[in-house]
Amino acid sequence: MKVFVTGGAGYIGSVTTELLLNKGHDVVVFDSLERGHRSAIDDRATFEQGNLRDKEAICTVMQQTKPDAVLHFAAYALVGESMEDPGMYYRNNVIGGINLADAMQKAEINKIVFSSTCATYGQPDRVPITEDTLQRPENPYGESKLAFEKALRWYQDIHGIQSVFLRYFNACGATEKFGEDHAPETHLIPLILQVALGQREHISIFGEDYETPDGTCLRDYIHIVDLAQAHILALTGDHSGPFNLGTGTGYSVKEVIDMAREVTGHEIPAVIAPRRPGDPPRLVAGNEKAKTILGWKPKLDDLRKIIESAWQWHQEHPNGYED
Ligand code: UFG
């Protein structure tokens, strides 16, 4: 297949591009490089630099490249930033998405796999979270992703563009080539590893008075190679609608820090800090639908393996893609 990957210079897009190419597919990466990294784009991919907010640009590239399907990763993805500037999230994630869907319709491209998020569920009443859980986002980031899911349902009904929404839980880990490098970094695992690399003095634990076994928040950490495999399954089968992508197991912040101490051999000092606004206590995926319908099975669903792969990449790229 020829696959058009928006956001292919970002964390999950770069790894999915790598895996698609390994499987013999052709990949066109479309990325503005506003937040992505040029060196995160696999050399074997064709690169088109552009911004989804530029409708003419995306329509032209889509017409010229005529892919079989689109994987849509490009988005802003910081909850805290979205709480400060919601307009930025609507413009990029919703309007940019609509421009992409219109470009697909014009070029008669009928399949899209969209990177959605567990943030569309907000604070769920129960875990594990299944796909039919009421979606009540608690921040503009989650709301912008939900708005584009809803738009895609109409593009499917009206224009016949088949849409899969992959709702990621906590993406983490690395391949030998590509890893996690956000600026600013806000995610738990890379921040912990920055402490192990001597770049930070300590990791802050945002709250230890939650109603969880050790008082810290539980998250479902899913390796990006497993995420990438799910995209390939979603692309190649006759699928549509939402799928949760997580392992089904939650780890607490303290468990993640303890595992990172074992893997790195560094003491990783931790300091208890106030709760971070908007953090749900528990987010754990119900992943039965992805397993039974997509035939997906997370293979790297072991916290040690996840942290080992991230640690290897961070040791080799202590300054991220700047190296
Ligand atoms: N945490 C800390 N200290 C830190 C950073 C994080 O204790 O320095 C905690 C957080 O409070 C949270 C857990 O570690 O309990 C994981 O935090 P991350 O920031 O790594 O990830 P989030 O769960 O907040 O975010 C993820 C995705 C978002 C998505 C969100 C849905 O990265 O894109 O889940 O809630 F929107």
Closest ligand 1 atom to 216 CA: 15
Q: Which of 12, 116, 166, 170 to mutate to test the pocket of ligand 1 (most atoms within 8 A of CB)?
A: 170
Together in a domain, 275 and 131? no
Asked if residue 234 has pLDDT above 80, the reply is yes
Counting atoms of ligand 1 from 1, which one is nearest the CA of 218? 15
Active site residues per annotation: 141
Ligand 1 lined by 77 (C-beta under 6 Å): yes
Q: Which amino acid is at 293?
A: I
31/47 same-domain check: yes
Query: Which tens digit of pLDDT belongs to each residue from 118-151?
Result: 999 999 988 999 999 999 999 999 999 999 999 9
The pLDDT of residue 153: 98
CA 156 / ligand 1 centre spacing (Å): 32
Q: The CATH number of the domain where 154 resides is what?
A: 3.40.50.720
Q: Ligand 1 centre from 139 Cα, in Å? A: 14
**Distance between CA atoms of 7 and 30, rounded to whole angstroms?**
6
DSSP state, 319? T
Mean pLDDT, range 152-159, rounded to an integer: 98
283 C-alpha to ligand 1 centroid (Å): 10
pTM assigned to the model: 0.97
Alpha helices in the chain (DSSP H): 11-22, 55-65, 79-84, 86-89, 96-107, 140-159, 188-196, 224-236, 253-264, 288-289, 303-316
Domain co-membership, 84 together with 197? no
300 and 316 fall within a common domain: yes
Which of 234, 242, 253 lies closest to 303 in space, CA to CA? 253
Average pLDDT in the chain: 97
- 183 pLDDT tier (thresholds 50, 70, 90): confident
Give the pLDDT confidence score for residue 127 in this predicted structure: 92
pLDDT reading at 25 higher than 70: yes
Mean pLDDT of all residues in 86-90 = 97
- Shared domain check, 188 and 165: no
List, in order, residues 6 or more apart from 123 with CB less than 8 Å away: 136, 138, 280
Question: For residue 30, is pLDDT > 90?
Answer: yes
Residues 240 and 265 in one domain: no
Residue 279 pLDDT level (bands cut at 50, 70, 90): confident
In short, whether 218's Cβ falls inside 6 Å of ligand 1 is: no
Question: Structural domain tally of the chain?
Answer: 2
Does position 26 have pLDDT exceeding 70, yes or no? yes
Task: Assess whether pLDDT exceeds 80 at residue 247.
Answer: yes
Residue range 316-323: mean pLDDT, rounded: 89
233: confidence class by pLDDT, cuts 50, 70, 90: very high
According to the model, what pLDDT value does residue 237 have? 87
Tell me, in angstroms, the distance from the centre of ligand 1 to residue 187's CA: 6
Is 253 near ligand 1, meaning CB less than 6 Å away? yes
Same domain, 116 and 233: yes
Same domain? For 106 and 190 the reply is no
User: In terms of pLDDT, which residue wins out, 316 or 80?
Assistant: 316
- Examine the domain organization and report whether 87 and 231 are in the same domain: yes
Residue 164 has pLDDT above 70, yes or no: yes
Residues 147, 127: Cα–Cα separation, whole Å: 23
For ligand 1, atom 16, the nearest C-alpha belongs to: 188
- Structural domain that includes position 40: 2-171+222-245
**pLDDT score for 323:** 60
Give dist(CA 168, CA 222) in Å, integer: 8
pLDDT at 218: 97
More confident residue, 242 or 183: 242
Q: With a 6 A CB cut-off, is 217 part of the ligand 1 pocket?
A: yes
pLDDT band for position 277 (50/70/90)? confident
Atom 29 of ligand 1, residue of closest alpha carbon: 119
Q: Are residues 47 and 123 located together in one domain of the fold?
A: yes
Same-domain check for residues 107 and 236: yes
Q: Which of 98, 88, 90 is nearest to 151 (CA)?
A: 98
262 and 202 in a single domain? The answer is yes
In angstroms, the CA 204 to CA 187 distance is 11
Q: What is the CATH number of the domain that holds 193?
A: 3.90.25.10
Cβ(79) – ligand 1 distance below 6 Å: yes
